[in-house]
Each structure stands twice: as structure tokens, then as C-alpha cells.
């Protein structure tokens, strides 16, 4: 994930177990896109990651724009059984999980 220590430059850390253990290129592309969206938000909006509103907003953007909520991805996770509003439900679920973890 995106790491920003006070007084330092932001860094993106990608864990091998998150993207390199049996996951395909698509998963890696979504993960990298997700983290780059956070980096863009940091540069553009000067996100304060300790502020839960800032953090949640960036997670919503990253989940919505990275491709991780594509129907095929959701279907592969076992969530893609409803076409109606699947993207919105996925974005909400994944953003909430990301905020909870941090």
C-alpha cells in the first residue's frame, strides 16, 4: 500500500504475497493501478491518511477506477451473481475493507 511517513516522500509498497503468488497479470495490474491512484490522490489533493474521510475517499476512488470491481473480477471472487449495481456494491465493500485494515 501507499506509505507516507511525516516529513518524508510517499512510497508505494507492493507485497509479493499480494500480487505474485498464483495471481495473474490482471490482478497485478489492478493492484498497481489501485496504489497509483492513491499516489495521484496524495500529489493532487495532499491526502492526510490519518483523516478517515480523506482515506475513505481515496479508497472509493481507487476501488472504482482500478478495475478491481470489474464484473469478471467479482465473479471470480464469488460475488458476481447479480449484474444490477454490482460495481457500486463492490466499491463500497472493498473501500470499507481497506479503511478497516488501516
Active site residues: 35
The residue whose grid cell reads 490482478 is 27
Identify the burial level of 101 via C-beta atoms within 10 angstroms of its C-beta, where 0-12 means exposed, 13-18 middle and 19 or more buried. exposed
| 47 within 8 A of 55, measured Cβ to Cβ | yes
C-alpha cell at position 62: 481507487
| 2 within 8 A of 10, measured Cβ to Cβ | yes
Amino acid at each position: 500500500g501507499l506509505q507516507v511517513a511525516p516529513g518524508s516522500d510517499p512510497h508505494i509498497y507492493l507485497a509479493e504475497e499480494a500480487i505474485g503468488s498464483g495471481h495473474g497479470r490482471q490482478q497485478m495490474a489492478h493492484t498497481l493501478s489501485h496504489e497509483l491512484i492513491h499516489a495521484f490522490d496524495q500529489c493532487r489533493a495532499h491526502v492526510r491518511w490519518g483523516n478517515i474521510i480523506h482515506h475513505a475517499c481515496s479508497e472509493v476512488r481507487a476501488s472504482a477506477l482500478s478495475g478491481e470491481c470489474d464484473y469478471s473480477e467479482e465473479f471470480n471472487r464469488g460475488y458476481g451473481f447479480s449484474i444490477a449495481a454490482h460495481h457500486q456494491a463492490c466499491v463500497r465493500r472493498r473501500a470499507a475493507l481497506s479503511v478497516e485494515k488501516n
